Amino acid sequence: MSDEYEHKLEAKSDYTGDASSVSTPDIDAVPDAELPDQELYHSHSWWTTYVFSQDAKYIGIQYALTAIGTGLLGLVLSWLMRIQLAWPGLGWLEPSSYYQFVTMHGMIMVVYLLTALFLGGFGNLLIPLMCGARDMAFPYVNMLSYWAFVVAVVVLLASFFVPGGPTGAGWTLYPPQAITAGTPGYNGGIILMLISLILFVAGFTMGGLNYIITVLQLRARGMTLMRLPLTIWGIFTATVLAMFAFPALLVGCLMMTLDSLLGTSFFMPAMVSLGETLTHEGGSPILFQHLFWFFGHPEVYIVALPAFGIVSDLLSVHSRKTIFGYRMMVWAIVGIGALSFFVWAHHMYVSGMNPWFGFFFATTTLIIAVPTAIKVYNWILTLWRGNIVLSLPMLFSLGFIVTFLNGGLTGLFLGNVTVDVPLSDTYFVVAHFHMVMGIAPILVVFGAIYHWYPLVTGRMMNETLGKVHFWITFIGSYAIYFPMHYQGFVGVPRRYFEIYDSPYIDVSTLLLNKFITIAVLIVGAAQLLFLYNLFASARLGKKAEKNPWKANSLEWQTPQMPPEHGNWGKELPKVYRWPYDFSVPGAKEDYIPQTQPPSEIIGAKVEKT
């Protein structure tokens, strides 16, 4: 940092200088706890321990497994879609099934997999442990949150079994087509989808309340907000975004449910359907689009911010280096969160809007690239001259940086109205958002699972299998999405279940479609390796030592690993530093855990960032 900082550091000889002046144990002293210890709920039976558990760690695992299970269905749907696109001559899918699969794939991946996994899964597992709390603030509400999510998933899946099948309106569920005859599932599936989303929002609000209050109020002594790992900053900010963004989805869903069930006209204009004049009149479909994207854009960051936070911690731990520019990283997370509420209409450039309106949203969209770019620079500078260990979490984190950068750059193109208009609704858009909020966060999810697996099971995941999984996933996803950019440029529209013999469709498109599909099948199959690794390692994996990655943050400093009920034994931890003291010159080890008191590391000189 600045010279001024260096002078200050030298002036402080009591901590950084010679040992003789600091040998008094007083430097470890912290004031007595003023706040009472949290009262814990103790389970009495098998049911309350393993099923209706109120322990945040269990709820986190339950959330994660449910989300991954649902996500697998999304993966299989993408296989089916791709086979149809590559070999349309097979007559593999009906057009209606194709649309239904597109819709369910999108909604499952965005909401039921990524949101639930990052906030419900990692949030529940990591927030109490990383903050140094015994559990969430309201454990009972936390349990309700998970079960509301389960019911939401069940209702969503039930839509496969109602007459007409699930909705085929696209994951954006735009009215009027979503609830008008001609769209698959217009009177059955869509209702279940809307109800499922309403349940999800209700469940999430209960969970989000817990995450916010726990992070704000239940931290360990000495754990200030600016000493929190960036993982927590990411999850916390994403939760705040979700608390403000999900109401918009709720409003849209409620009003569309009424339009469909009661025949009101919130969103439905006067229209003729199948030769008959419908009873609706005057409704505004654009209003729904605004509501949806007022939720939908922050939703991108609800998924991305936890990924940003987690990847920052993974990079720091696995390159044995302080995160570069911690404060800037926090500000970037908060800044991106705030800005994300002012960019939503860039999803609606082709819906028709005042040019000044489009100008405003194009500008805000480009501005949000600034904090995002700061984060990318900081990740790279964290790696700069670090002691990089190419462990599995590190590989996935590196994969994330490249992929996120890639997807972010195409975002700059699409954020401009004039560039977006010709590219809108082509495969370029599909490639962009899969790179930036599909592959990139998923790579972080994998990295995070490999990283925190020993914390959950006490065993390590298999390294070789993991590396095979990484390389197939990483290279495979580029094999899938790079060609899609090209297809978008030559004008192949998205959402078409078959590319007919049009003069503008080149033979290369058809060949690429086959190539992409083969890549999809291989990448998808590679996930089976991961699943095998995930479940088999719980039994067969190498026993993990305590704190296997030599990390500083609190979750690895519990008396038992995996942590038991109540996390911390008798005494709550005391925190003496931030979690990024890696490779401190003069220290015995290359890491100083947050709980290590100053008297034990005399002579260590904290590195400036």
Partner 1 sequence: MSKKKSIFQLLTEKPWEQDQIEADNDHQGQTVNLSKQKLGLRTLMAASTVLFSLFIVAYSDRMLVHDWRNMPEPWLLWFNTGILVISSLVFHQTVKYAKNDLFDKTKNGLYFIGFLAYSFLIGQLIVWYQLMNTGFYATSNVANAFFYLFTTIHGLHIIGGIYFWGKTTSKFIKRSLKKEEINNLIDICAVYWHFLLAVWLVLFGLMLSS
Alpha carbon distances (Å) from 329 to 74, 228, 372, 378, 544: 32, 12, 9, 8, 31
Among 225, 390, 409, 511, binds partner 1 (CB under 8 A): 225
Q: For tokens 């109800």, name the residue.
A: 195
Nearest to 210 by CA among 450, 38, 457: 38
- Judged by CB under 8 A, does residue 287 bind partner 1? yes
Nearest to 211 by CA among 242, 183, 187, 176: 242
Distance of CA 207 to the CA centre of its chain: 15
- Judged by CB under 8 A, does residue 223 bind partner 1? yes
* 238-267: b (≥16 Cβ within 10 Å) or e: bbbbbeebbebbbbbbebbbebbeeebbbb
Closer residue to partner 1 in complex, CB, 201/551? 201
Closer residue to partner 1 in complex, CB, 163/282? 282
Closer residue to partner 1 in complex, CB, 172/264? 264
Closer residue to partner 1 in complex, CB, 68/250? 250
Among 3, 20, 26, 35, binds partner 1 (CB under 8 A): 35
DSSP state string for 408-437? HHHHHHHHSHHHHHHHTTBHHHHHHHHIII
- Judged by CB under 8 A, does residue 217 bind partner 1? yes
- 160 is written with which tokens? 């496969």
Closer residue to partner 1 in complex, CB, 291/429? 291
- Judged by CB under 8 A, does residue 9 bind partner 1? yes
Among 514, 542, 543, 608, binds partner 1 (CB under 8 A): 608
Q: Tell me, what amino acid is at 42?
A: H
> DSSP state, 221?
B
Sign of the dihedral through C-alpha 115, 73, 540, 446: negative
The interface region with partner 1, picked from 132-140, 376-384, 423-431, 456-464 by CB under 8 A, is 132-140
The interface region with partner 1, picked from 447-455, 460-468, 501-509, 572-580 by CB under 8 A, is 572-580
Distance of CA 559 to the CA centre of its chain: 29
- Judged by CB under 8 A, does residue 7 bind partner 1? no
Residue 263 C-beta: closest distance to partner 1, Å: 5
Residue 548 C-beta: closest distance to partner 1, Å: 26
CA distance 583 to 590: 4
Alpha carbon distances (Å) from 278 to 202, 283, 284, 365, 514: 32, 12, 15, 38, 42
Which residues within the stretch 240-259 sit at the binding site for partner 1 (CB under 8 A)?
243-244, 246-248, 250-251, 254-255, 258
Residue 484 C-beta: closest distance to partner 1, Å: 34
The interface region with partner 1, picked from 159-167, 213-221, 513-521, 550-558 by CB under 8 A, is 213-221
**Binding characters for partner 1, 73-92, by CB under 8 A (x = yes):** --------------------
The 3-class SS string of 329-361 reads HHHHHHHHHHHHHHCHHHHCHHHCCCHHHHHHH
Among 6, 281, 463, 498, binds partner 1 (CB under 8 A): 281
CA distance 238 to 8: 35
- Judged by CB under 8 A, does residue 491 bind partner 1? no
β-strand 272-273 against 276-277: which pairing, if any? Answer: antiparallel
- Judged by CB under 8 A, does residue 343 bind partner 1? no
Closer residue to partner 1 in complex, CB, 335/488? 335
C-alpha angle 342-346-349 in degrees, rounded to nearest 5: 140
The 3-class SS string of 577-593 reads CCCCCECCCCCCCCECC
Contact 259/280 with Cβ under 8 angstroms?
yes
Residue 404 C-beta: closest distance to partner 1, Å: 24
Give the count of residues interacting with partner 1 (CB under 8 A).
69
- Judged by CB under 8 A, does residue 8 bind partner 1? yes
The interface region with partner 1, picked from 120-128, 146-154, 157-165, 211-219 by CB under 8 A, is 211-219
- Judged by CB under 8 A, does residue 272 bind partner 1? no
Among 151, 177, 221, 491, binds partner 1 (CB under 8 A): 221
Contacts of 186 (CB under 8 A, 6+ apart): 164, 167, 169, 178, 179, 180
Among 181, 216, 370, 528, binds partner 1 (CB under 8 A): 216
CA distance 405 to 223: 32
Closer residue to partner 1 in complex, CB, 105/219? 219
Closer residue to partner 1 in complex, CB, 266/481? 266
Residue 201 C-beta: closest distance to partner 1, Å: 10
Among 74, 120, 132, 399, binds partner 1 (CB under 8 A): 132
Contacts of 30 (CB under 8 A, 6+ apart): 221, 222, 574
Contact 54/140 with Cβ under 8 angstroms?
yes
Among 577, 592, 593, 604, binds partner 1 (CB under 8 A): 577
Residue 394 C-beta: closest distance to partner 1, Å: 23
Residue 159 C-beta: closest distance to partner 1, Å: 24
- The burial class, CB within 10 Å (0-12 / 13-18 / 19+), for 503 is exposed
- Judged by CB under 8 A, does residue 224 bind partner 1? yes
The interface region with partner 1, picked from 281-289, 309-317, 368-376, 492-500 by CB under 8 A, is 281-289
Sign of the dihedral through C-alpha 561, 535, 316, 307: negative
**Binding characters for partner 1, 578-607, by CB under 8 A (x = yes):** x-x-------------------------x-
Report the 10 Å Cβ neighbour count for 269: 15
Q: Could you tell me how many helices (H) and strands (E) the chain has, helices first?
A: 18, 2
Interface residue list for partner 1 (CB under 8 A): 5, 8-9, 12, 14-16, 30-31, 33-35, 132, 137-138, 205, 208-209, 212-213, 216-227, 243-244, 246-248, 250-251, 254-255, 258, 262-266, 279, 281-284, 287, 291, 294, 322, 326-327, 330-331, 334, 575-578, 580, 606, 608-609
